[in-house]
Amino acid sequence: MRRTIGGLLVLLVLLVALTVAQKARGSAPRVQGRSVTVLFGLLAGFTTMVANAAGPVMSIYLLATGTSMMTFLGTGAWFYL
């Protein structure tokens, strides 16, 4: 289980670094498609169950979809409720 949690944390750090690099270049692509949404949903659910670490996954997904600030806050509140 330690290796799984470690791997998840490395993956999350890489996703955050990729998002920051894309934002710095000004070319952050928008996430589209049901498969990407399902992938992020499964990743968020699994990381919450295993390590209580879904915050970065949800933040990356919501930022990548281009949600507004109020939608970001509302969705985050409902997700953690």
What confidence score (pLDDT) does residue 65 get? 83
Query: How far separated are the first and last CA of the chain, in Å rounded?
Result: 26
What confidence score (pLDDT) does residue 29 get? 63
What confidence score (pLDDT) does residue 6 get? 82
What confidence score (pLDDT) does residue 28 get? 62
pTM of the predicted structure, to 2 decimals = 0.57
> pLDDT (tens digit, 9 = 90+) per residue, 3-56?
887 887 788 788 778 878 877 887 766 677 888 888 888 888 887 777 777 777
What confidence score (pLDDT) does residue 67 get? 85
Write the CA distances from 30 to 33, 60, 63, 64, 65, integer angstroms.
10, 11, 9, 5, 5
Q: Are 33 and 23 in contact (CB under 8 A)?
A: no
Band (79; pLDDT cuts 50, 70, 90): confident
